Amino acid sequence: MTRACALCKKPAIKEGNKFWPLCSERCHLVDLGMWLGEEYRVPGEPDPNLAAASPPTREDDET
């Protein structure tokens, strides 16, 4: 099975490709960096507990 790589759009072959659905280790590492850099987001409702636990910002200190 072959399809376009999710990042670079080159052909990605499924058989024997441990980086599937990406075409190569390079695209795999770029994709990982995007996840770690929080460039990808999963949609959902904000967690009210998380907002309450966040540290104050400089703007909060000025008021």
Model confidence, pTM: 0.62
What are the DSSP calls for 22-54, one per residue?
SSSHHHHHHHHHHHHTT-S-------HHHHHHS
Percent of the chain with pLDDT over 90: 57
The CATH architecture that domain 1-43 belongs to is: 2-Layer Sandwich (3.30)
What is the rounded average pLDDT for all residues in the chain? 85
Percent of the chain with pLDDT over 70: 81
Rounded to an integer, what distance in angstroms lies between the CA atom of residue 27 and that of residue 7? Answer: 7
Residue 11 has pLDDT above 90, yes or no: yes
- Name the residue with higher pLDDT: 41 or 61: 41
Across 27-38, average pLDDT? 94
Q: Where are the domains of the chain?
A: 1-43
Q: What are 37-46's pLDDT values in tens digits?
A: 989 888 888 8
- The three-class DSSP label of residue 1 is coil
Residue 9 parent element (H or E): none
Spatial contact of 14 and 20, defined as CB atoms under 8 Å apart: yes
Other CB atoms within 10 Å distance of the CB of residue 27: 19
